[in-house]
Amino acid sequence: MKNKSKYIEVFIKSLSIDKKKFSEKLKYNDIPEWDSIGHMTLMSGLEDAFKISIDTDDIIDFSSFKKGIQILKKYKIN
Amino acid sequence: MKIENNIKLWSSLGMRATFGLIAMELAKKHPELIITTSDVSTSAGLDRYKNKYPDKYIDVGIAEQNLIGVSAGLSSEGFKVISTTFAPFQTLRCCEQIKVNLGYMKHKICMVGLASGLVLGNLGFTHCSIEDIGTLRSIPNISIVVPSDPFELFKVLNEAIDYKNSVYIRLTAGANSKIINSKDYEFKIGKAVEILPGNDVTIIGCGNILGNCLEAASILKKKNVQCSVVNMHTIKPIDHEIIRNITSKNKLILTVEEHNIIGGLGSSVAEVLSSYNHNCKLVRLGINDFYSSGGSYEYLKNIYGLSVEKIIETVLSNL
Amino acid sequence: MNLKKIKLFAKNIRKNIIFAAFKAGSKSAHIGGALSSADIVAVLYSDILKIKKKKTLDDNRDRFILSKGHACLALYSALVEKKILKKKELETFESDGSNLLGHPIINKLSGIEFSTGSLGMGLALGVGVALAAKKKQKKYKTYVILGDGECNEGSIWESVLCASHFKLDNMTIIVDKNNFQQTGKNSSIMDLKNLTNKFKSFGCEAIEIDGHDIKKIYKSLNKKNSKKPKVIVANTTKGKGIQMFENDNNWHHSVITKSIYKNIIKEL
């Protein structure tokens, strides 16, 4: 993924977490910051950063950092 | 917190989840804040608040009459209380407690009615609220505010918490609600906002349904009908001045609300119009005093004439 | 405990109740239910409640809530005895513009904590006030008097569950159980059966006493409780203290004429 560093940065900023708390294994609800509100903040952050509009189904399916990479491919973010 | 960034996020979250975020900010500013609920935390976006401020959160369980009494007791001892549960239960189940504690004894409480209007229509009308404004209007000492979007909710809560009397705040729509206010603006309880200027017709709305009003106005403009759209966020005390200004210019007012046309915004405007001479016709759009079969939010808006198409149709047929 | 002093206090409460009801004349008054509460109110106001006449707004005062609002003559009379209200004010009972109406109107300066009268609401206020004490780490105690008929209201039980859940041991509920409500006996209208057991099963420390035995009232109010709200179910007689009123439900809400007043005042 070319945009990986940008993607990681959005995670860290949207979820308001320390770089140390971040890991590529991160999943929804793994940490208190990635609750339903954190999730919507993350989706909003990704939409702004990559100038896309994410479908509701994809918002629901976006269950982990890794899954997110797959989903973003649909929106031509590699 | 940059305002514009928040507006987009808050609208995607919807009013309920945004309420939870705002509560976190309020707790920092107001050390005497206590939020009381009847078994609703997640539904009010309050999970984070509950975890961070457990001593500022009291859940009395599914017991709304007790909720109001306990909230009033706390308020009488100097706490700033915000109570919340779903709108029908927040207003009707404990209506007499609201009358006696908030109206008669003037204990100050902010009541936040979640998911009012038609948004939970798929759960049936026990979970919709089309009577709350009408019921509370007849109790003295309670102001009634219907924020148009989550950004407005932010402004309402910040003013209501220190307002002179109790305030009922009626939340409408769900996640991905329409953005009505895309830039910062001046907000004051009791002062309506003209969100779109125009000359022929005025659409006065309250709540997120204003999104449909704005869309209808934009389509009507192409048909050469200039609609102004007014956000009458405060039903009580209603803004008399803006209504008088409207009737001095226009011949038609359309009120639009997710509430019975008896008792709510439309009735309030009608009361003002009946108190002086003017040449304006009033048409009230809303729930026409019947409970339809349940269904999605969109389905119900259509049945009750609150869809964009029906609003346009109503304007055109009354010109 | 000064038994003589409390007994005199109770007698004066009864005198004041009858006096005010007589002054109200044809407007009539809730008499029976005030008289049944008189001894409980006497013990509270003469010896238990930390309430002082010039310090009615003191943040550390004990809070007394008459949820059974129609017994207000007992409250007003006690406030007169404590010199918080003047006897002259009692004469304005139920008259136009008066602060002393047929149900209490909130007036903390005059020692009236809340407007009650719509039955079933005072206990929730008590819970809120007791919770506030816990939160502010204040030592004041909260006392709520309920009627037995009032226990028909579901809202009472919402509040009882809540008081128990939040372990409000700084709160005492006293039920004036005179066995009557407006239309007749509790047992025929809506039978409460074993009320004390009901409170126990809701998580309260509940006991039953003779509601006219001053010593027992005093002892039960002073008994220590912990982690649970205290409930005292006081068995009383409606109209207690005036022979012709006792257990006669016609005196729930009625008129004391001049001749009746002349007769009954002799008993006190």
Residue owning tokens 């009308």: B125
Q: Does domain C3-265 have CATH number 2.40.70.10?
A: no
Out of B8, B20, B176, name the one closest to residue A37 (CB).
B20
In terms of domains, do B166 and B27 share one? yes
Same domain, B259 and B304: yes
- Which parts of chain C have pLDDT scores under 50? none
Which residues of chain A from 55 to 74 reach within 8 Å of chain B, CB to CB? 56
Which of C131, C142, C164, C168 is the best mutation test for B, with the most CBs of B within 10 A? C131
pLDDT score of A78: 85
Which pLDDT value is given to residue B2? 62
The domain of B23 spans 3-170
Q: In terms of CA atoms, which chain B residue is nearest residue C159?
A: B66
Given CA atoms B9, B10, B16, B19 in this order, what sign does their dihedral have?
positive
pLDDT for residue C1:
87
- Mark which of B136, B170, B204 sits at the end of a domain: B170
Q: What is the CATH number of the domain that holds B52?
A: 3.40.50.970
Closest-CA distance, B33 to chain C, in angstroms, reads: 12
Nearest-CA distance A35 → chain B (Å): 9
In a shared domain, residues B34 and B68: yes
Chain B contact for C60, CB < 8 A? no
* Contact criterion met (CB < 8 Å) for B63 and C126: no
Between B58, B79, B100, which is nearest C121 by CB? B100
Domain check: are B137 and B66 in the same one? Answer: yes
* Rounded CA separation C119/C149 (Å): 9
- Cβ distance of C158 and B100 shorter than 8 Å: no
Cβ-proximal residues to A51 (8 Å cutoff; 6+ apart), any chain:
none
For residues C268 and C266, what is the distance between their CA atoms, to the nearest angstrom? Answer: 5
Q: Which residues of C touch B63 (CB under 8 A)?
A: 155, 158, 161-162
Question: Do the chains contact at B13 and A35, CB–CB below 8 Å?
Answer: no
Beta strand ranges found along chain C (DSSP E): 63-66, 142-147, 171-177, 180-181, 184-185, 205-210, 230-235
Looking at the domain assignment, is residue B188 inside a domain? no
Q: Where are the domains of chain C?
A: 3-265
Beta-carbon separation of B9 and A44 below 8 A: yes
Assess B279–A contact: CB distance below 8 Å, yes or no: no
Per-residue pLDDT of chain B (319 residues; tens, 9 = 90+): 467 778 988 998 999 999 999 999 999 999 999 999 999 998 899 999 999 999 999 999 999 999 999 999 999 999 999 999 999 999 999 999 999 999 999 999 999 999 999 999 999 999 999 999 999 999 999 999 999 999 999 999 999 999 999 999 999 999 989 999 999 999 999 999 999 999 889 999 999 999 999 999 999 999 999 999 999 999 999 999 999 999 999 999 999 999 999 999 999 999 999 999 999 999 999 999 999 999 999 999 999 999 999 999 999 999 9
Number of domains in chain B: 2
Task: Find out whether C127 and C72 touch, Cβ atoms under 8 Å.
Answer: no
Instruction: Residue B246: give its domain's CATH number.
Output: 3.40.50.920
Model pTM? 0.94
- Give, in order, the Cα–Cα distances in Å from B78 to each of B33, B60, B319: 10, 19, 53
Neighbouring subunits of A (3+ Cβ pairs under 8 A): B
B239's tokens: 């803004």
Residue A49 C-alpha, separation from nearest chain B C-alpha, in angstroms: 12
Interchain contact, A37 vs B45, CB within 8 Å? yes
Of A32, A35, A44, the CB nearest to B12: A44
In this complex, the residue of B65, B72, B74 whose CB is nearest that of residue C155 is: B65
Whether B5 contacts chain A with CB within 8 A = yes
- Closest-CA distance, B105 to chain C, in angstroms, reads 7
- Chains C/B: 3 or more C-beta pairs closer than 8 A? yes
Tell me if chain C has a CB within 8 Å of the CB of B77.
yes
Q: What is the pLDDT of residue B225?
A: 96
CB-based contact A36 B17, cutoff 8 Å: yes
pLDDT of residue C19: 95
pLDDT at A65 over 70: yes
Check if B55 contacts C (Cβ < 8 Å): yes
Indicate whether B25 and B123 sit together in one domain. Answer: yes
B95 → chain C, closest CA residue: C121
Check CB contact of C231 with chain B, cutoff 8 Å: no
- Cβ A40–B47 below 8 Å, yes or no? no
Q: Is A51 touching B (CB cutoff 8 A)?
A: no
Same domain, yes or no: B161 and B232 = no
Contacts of C154 in chain B (CB under 8 A): 65
CB < 8 Å to A32, chain B: 48, 51
Write down the pLDDT at residue B131: 98
Name the residue in chain B with its Cα closest to that of A43. B9
Q: CB-based contact (8 Å) between A37 and chain B? A: yes
HSE-up of residue B205 (Cα within 13 Å, Cβ side): 31
Of B5, B17, B176, the CB nearest to A37: B17
Contacts of A48 in chain B (CB under 8 A): 5, 8
Listed by start position, the domains of chain A span 1-15+33-78
Which of B15, B16, B48, B176 to substitute to test the interface with A, most A CBs within 10 Å? B48
Among A15, A39, A40, most B C-beta atoms within 10 A, so best to mutate, is: A40
On whether both B107 and B70 belong to a single domain, the answer is yes
Distance from CA of B8 to the nearest CA of C (A): 38
Chain B residues inside the 8 Å CB shell of C161: 61, 63
Which of A44, A51, A59 would you mutate first to test chain B, the one with the most B CBs within 10 A? A44
Residues 9 to 28 of A: which have CB under 8 A from any B CB? none
With helix as H, strand as E and coil as C, how does chain B read?
A: CCHHHHHHHHHHHHHHHHHHHHHHHHHHHCCCEEEEECCCCHHHCCHHHHHHCHHHEEECCCCHHHHHHHHHHHHHCCCEEEEEEEHHHHHHHCHHHHHHHHHHCCCCEEEEEECCECCCHHHCHHHCECCHHHHHHCCCCEEEECCCCHHHHHHHHHHHCCCCCEEEEECCCCCCCCCCCCCCCCCECCECEEEECCCCEEEEECCCCHHHHHHHHHHHHHCCCCEEEEECCEEECCCHHHHHHHHHHCCEEEEEEEEECCCCHHHHHHHHHCCCCCCCEEEEEEECCCCCCCCCHHHHHHHCCCCHHHHHHHHHHHC
B301 residue type, one letter: K
Same domain, B227 and B260: yes
